[in-house]
Structure 1
Amino acid sequence: MKKVLLMSAMLVAGAAMATPAVLQENVNPMEQIAQQEKVKIEAEALPDAVKTAIAANEEVKALPITEAFQITQLDGKFHFEVIFDNGTEEKLTKKYDQEGNEITE
């Protein structure tokens, strides 16, 4: 009887330890699928349409661009993320499509 109880306890303990490993394996592929390619580019390399949209926007036209990124989505389309220095610790970030239209989420 002791052997049966000992074997049952070992089986339950083994199953409890194996469950987190299985869950962790399933999380990683989903995380990789959701990732987009984010490439840092120079502000001068932004398309003219995006530069024109920035120049026409009263909120950001006087702010310096600290960083710019081209983000390629899984379907091959891409957009641009531009980070402006607005004088605070929390920088101002705007997203634009290829035609210079601001993307609001």
Structure 2
Amino acid sequence: MTLLMSAMLFTGVAMATPQITLENSNSKSILLQQEKVKIEAENLPDAVKTNITNDETVKVFPIAEAFQVAKLDGTFHYEVIFENGTEEKLTKKYDQEGNEIIEE
């Protein structure tokens, strides 16, 4: 009986250990972040500038800030903040080809 209980206790401890390890590795991956670098609006790629010029919703607003964001896969996207006359400025994101990224 004691041998059976010892075996059950050992098996329970052995099964619990991988769960703890998985939780630790997940918390490490959360620490990885994208690199966001402020750039001048005139340094945006031509494709992004063209899209902004052709977009009726933002073409009349001045650009307050622009950022180049390096993603974990080595590609970039651009975050452009427009001065739209309200406290909450309008922010749009564009890929490297100038296409607007619409987040759902």
Band of TM-score, shorter chain:
0.7 to 0.9
The 1-side partners of 2:71 and 2:96 are apart by 13
**Alignment pair present for 1:94 and 2:67:** no
Tell me the residue number matched to 2:15. Answer: none
Q: 1:70 aligns with which of 68, 71, 74?
A: 68
The 1-side partners of 2:85 and 2:38 are apart by 22
Q: What is the SS of the residue equivalent to 1:54?
A: helix
Percent of aligned pairs with the same amino acid: 70
| Structure 1 residue runs without a partner (length 5+) | 1-21
The 2-side partners of 1:40 and 1:104 are apart by 21
Please provide the CA RMSD for this pair: 1.6
Aligned residue pairs, count = 81
The residue type paired with residue 54 of structure 2 is A
What pairs up with 1:11-30 in 2 under 5 angstroms?
Answer: 26=24, 29-30=28-29
Q: What is the SS of the residue equivalent to 1:49?
A: helix
- Scaled by the length of structure 2, the TM-score of the pair is 0.72
| Structure 2 residue runs without a partner (length 5+) | 1-19
- Scaled by the length of structure 1, the TM-score of the pair is 0.72
Q: 1:48 aligns with which of 43, 46, 49?
A: 46
The 2-side partners of 1:30 and 1:82 are apart by 27
The 1-side partners of 2:31 and 2:39 are apart by 23
Q: CA deviation at 1:28?
A: 5.5
Q: What is the SS of the residue equivalent to 1:76?
A: coil
Q: CA deviation at 1:29?
A: 2.1
Tell me the residue number matched to 1:31. Answer: 30
The residue type paired with residue 62 of structure 2 is P
